[in-house]
Chain A
Amino acid sequence: MHIPDGYLGPKTYITMYAIFTAFIFVAIKKLKKKLSLKLIPFLGFASAFSFLIMMFNIPIPGGTTGHAVGAALAGLVIGPWAAMIAVSVALIIQALVFGDGGITAIGANCFTMAIVMPFIAVWTYKLIAGNTDNKRRTGVAAFFAGYVSLNVAALITAVLFGLQPIISTDAAGNPLYSPYPLKIAVPAMTLEHLLLFGIVEGIVTMVFFQYLKKANPELVSNK
């Protein structure tokens, strides 16, 4: 789901940078109130943790393996505002070390994966689990937190792609950036996430969340 350079036009990526920057400022302000000087090491470790989640490959039925974005899990474990910064930093390091995701698309990638995903995950979890501590219900809630959040992020990414042929064309009306219109980008992107990647994200979120809940109950009990 990492958008590379060349697919988004300047109108889109500048807007996404502005939105991302605004959210980051709000997140830092909110966390500073809670954590003061502990903020920096806390977020440094949260980012490292978020990056490491993406390294874990888990077996998927059918003999293959997959890895998750981990933003939903980060949101459930450290809260959505901290996860926003942690996942953003992990994505920026990925772009700067691996070239994974474009430099111009950092704002858009961070918006979908670091801002949208943790919030949707936490809201979905709260909606399903409520105040219960029942293992099965929290497990189901964690699965859907990962599944729903990734699919919403994929939908937003598809809309960003699909908007390009409408807002950025040459004089003859040909698209200058991503050429797929909304009617192609949205179903193509969402279907693969609904049927495959969303399930992987859901399983990873559920398995690891249950593990953390079992081993460090005080850490995740209030999320």
Chain B
Amino acid sequence: MTEIPSFLLINNPVTLHEVKKNDKKFRFSFIEQTLNSSGKFISTTVFQYHSALFKGILQQLNPVVKLLMLLVGTTGIALIHSVLFQLILSFLIFLLVAFSKLRLRSFYKRVLTLVLIFGIIPTLPIYFNWITPGKPALELIKSGCSFNFWIYHVPNSLYISYEGIHHALRLEIKVLNSLALSLLIIHTTQFVDIVKAASRLKAPAIFLLIITLSHKLIFIFTKVLEDSFLGLKSRWWRKIDENASRQIVGNRFLLVFNKTWHRYDQTYKAMIARGFNGTIEHGYQKQLNRLDILFLLLFIVVLSTAVTISNVFQLY
């Protein structure tokens, strides 16, 4: 089993921090927020690296199979319009998460956070009869007349409609399943293996090399960014005015930019020194075995059956 590099293990979680002075709270929000963004990238990368090494069912599969599952799966989920079939898929994905030995609570906490942002909040207006007219499920306001509010026509009776609930749920559960499947594949496959699998599926080699290089560099420079902001945070204790804060952010930005620019030239020279001549190879790749093929076929059969039945019998 590959060891996790030691420098990845010394990253402490960054917490939001408030300073009180004369009963007034000062939040170094832009520093904290930037630290949170960089910390999130590092912790996610480390977590994925670690969870991809668990001895679960999906971790045993060839990355090519998992990448195909991701592509076929997200397409299939978009094509199934039956809420019941989507619920069955949710259960199957849940089983895959459990058999992949991922921590269910933290996995679904992340999935549901993303579902809230991308699935639930944007679909809230669909529940109401001003967007989806239909049979009333819950009456909210009954006024004497209808009126126009900005881009909406609000009818004289405002209620949540059964049709609205159905449409909103259908969209929300599609987002839930797509996200759960995507995160499941991402958490059970190392990033470098996803790229290798994409190269076997004939994705442009030059594009994949750029992705690989960029992913490594983002990690390095995120660490630079985090260290820089942590240093700043440890030195600062008073409220920062807007001009000063923009100056600070600008300086940090310039630091990162100069470091990336400088490193680009060094990397190019290092690549040439090691004999790079433009030929791109993505290293050793595992061959597909019987289990891989069987699993992929089973996945495709289940999904295509669901798509076919849902569409042929128009189950919405």
Q: Mark B202-233, 1 if CB is under 8 A from A, else 0.
A: 00101101110111011001100100000000
Answer yes or no: A115 CB below 8 A from chain B CBs: no
Contacts of B171 in A (CB 8 A): 6-7, 177-179
Contacts of A24 in B (CB 8 A): 204, 207
Answer yes or no: B7 CB below 8 A from chain A CBs: no
**How many whole Å from B148's CB to the nearest CB in chain A?**
12
**How many whole Å from A101's CB to the nearest CB in chain B?**
9
Contacts of B183 in A (CB 8 A): 99
Contacts of B110 in A (CB 8 A): 99
Answer yes or no: B50 CB below 8 A from chain A CBs: no
B126 in contact with A208 (CB, 8 Å): no
**How many whole Å from A127's CB to the nearest CB in chain B?**
25
A6 in contact with B213 (CB, 8 Å): no
Which stretch of B13-21, B27-35, B284-292 is in the interface? B27-35
Answer yes or no: B44 CB below 8 A from chain A CBs: yes
Answer yes or no: B101 CB below 8 A from chain A CBs: no
Answer yes or no: B256 CB below 8 A from chain A CBs: yes
Answer yes or no: A64 CB below 8 A from chain B CBs: yes
Answer yes or no: B261 CB below 8 A from chain A CBs: yes
Contacts of A175 in B (CB 8 A): 167
* Cα–Cα, bound, A175→B79 (Å): 13
* Cα–Cα, bound, A61→B175 (Å): 34
A179 in contact with B214 (CB, 8 Å): no
Contacts of A117 in B (CB 8 A): none
Q: Mark A47-59, 1 if CB is under 8 A from B, else 0.
A: 1110111111111
Q: A6-B178, A39-B206, A48-B221 are contacts. A184–B152 as well, Cβ < 8 Å?
A: yes
* Cα–Cα, bound, A65→B118 (Å): 20
A50: nearest residue on chain B (CB-CB)? B214
B35: nearest residue on chain A (CB-CB)? A57
Which stretch of A88-96, A135-143, A145-153 is in the interface? A88-96
**How many whole Å from A10's CB to the nearest CB in chain B?**
7
Q: Mark B15-51, 1 if CB is under 8 A from A, else 0.
A: 0000000000000011001100110110011001000
For the complex, would chain B's binding face be called helix, strand, loop or mixed by DSSP majority?
A: helix
* Cα–Cα, bound, A64→B27 (Å): 10
Q: Mark A77-90, 1 if CB is under 8 A from B, else 0.
A: 00000000100011
Which stretch of B53-61, B137-145, B243-251 is in the interface? B243-251
Answer yes or no: B238 CB below 8 A from chain A CBs: no
* Number of residue pairs spanning A and B whose beta carbons lie under 8 angstroms apart: 222
Contacts of B33 in A (CB 8 A): 57, 65, 67
B272: nearest residue on chain A (CB-CB)? A37
Say which residue of A52, A102, A219 sits within 8 Å of B218 (CB atoms).
A52
B249 in contact with A56 (CB, 8 Å): yes
**How many whole Å from A3's CB to the nearest CB in chain B?**
9
A47: nearest residue on chain B (CB-CB)? B214
Contacts of B196 in A (CB 8 A): none
* Cα–Cα, bound, A2→B122 (Å): 12
Say which residue of A10, A215, A219 sits within 8 Å of B78 (CB atoms).
A10
* Cα–Cα, bound, A118→B67 (Å): 30
B214 in contact with A89 (CB, 8 Å): yes
Contacts of A172 in B (CB 8 A): 316
Say which residue of A4, A42, A44, A55 sits within 8 Å of B38 (CB atoms).
A55
Contacts of B256 in A (CB 8 A): 49, 52
A4 in contact with B118 (CB, 8 Å): yes
* Cα–Cα, bound, A56→B254 (Å): 11
**How many whole Å from A86's CB to the nearest CB in chain B?**
8
Binding site for A on B (CB under 8 A): 29-30, 33-34, 37-38, 40-41, 44-45, 48, 70-71, 74-75, 77-79, 81, 110-111, 114, 118-119, 123, 125-126, 131-132, 150-152, 163, 167, 171, 174-175, 178-179, 182-183, 186, 191, 194, 204, 206-207, 209-211, 213-215, 217-218, 221-222, 225, 242, 245-246, 249-254, 256-258, 260-261, 263-264, 267-268, 271-272, 276-278, 314, 316
11 contacts between A and B (CB under 8 A): A5-B182, A37-B272, A47-B211, A47-B214, A93-B215, A99-B179, A102-B178, A177-B171, A180-B125, A208-B253, A219-B261
**Which A-B residue pairs are the 6 nearest by beta carbons?**
A44-B213, A5-B178, A6-B174, A47-B214, A57-B33, A48-B217
Sample of 12 further A-B pairs with CB below 8 A, known A5-B77, A97-B186: A2-B118, A4-B119, A6-B174, A13-B78, A40-B210, A41-B213, A56-B252, A59-B249, A89-B207, A170-B314, A179-B123, A211-B251
